[in-house]
Amino acid sequence: MSKLKRILYAEDEPDVQTVVELTIQSMSNYDIKICNNGKELLETVEDYNPDLILLDVMMPEMDGPTTFKNLQENDKVKNIPVIFMTAKAQTHEVENFKNSGIIGVITKPFDPLQLCADIEDIWKSKITV
């Protein structure tokens, strides 16, 4: 099993970006890089070569599900596991993706003390299979 080290995160809200970045930095040893939307993430993903991608669902320019579809179409990155971050009310919208490579969903607002543990749990449970 590969170890989780690098996370690439797409999120359009600067405040949420900061909170997630600070949380990951202070609660774990992961490296995190942040993109402002899905489009930016697609441009960055090959260079950064992350172990895991975190995707916000609603974003301008390109939303989470569209970004995910694009990732799937690129052979170089299609095997990188993806976690959606979304408001509870929208979890049903991403349910359909669960069978096609999404390894989990983290609901917003998240508990910062739990965030890294949740990511770790999803990573462990899905990657070992």
Q: Which residues make up the interface to other proteins (CB under 8 A)?
A: 13, 15-16, 18-20, 22-23, 26-27, 58, 87-89, 91-92, 95, 108-113
Instruction: Give the residue with the Cβ less far from other proteins, 18 or 29.
Output: 18
| Nearest CA among 45, 49, 60 for reference residue 12 | 60
Q: For 82, phi and psi rounded to 5 degrees?
A: -125, 135
Q: Which is nearer to other proteins, 54 or 77 (CB)?
A: 54
C-beta of 27 vs 80, nearer to other proteins: 27
Tokens of 80: 């990188």
| C-alpha R_g of the chain | 13
CA–CA distance, 27 with 123 (Å, rounded to integer):
16
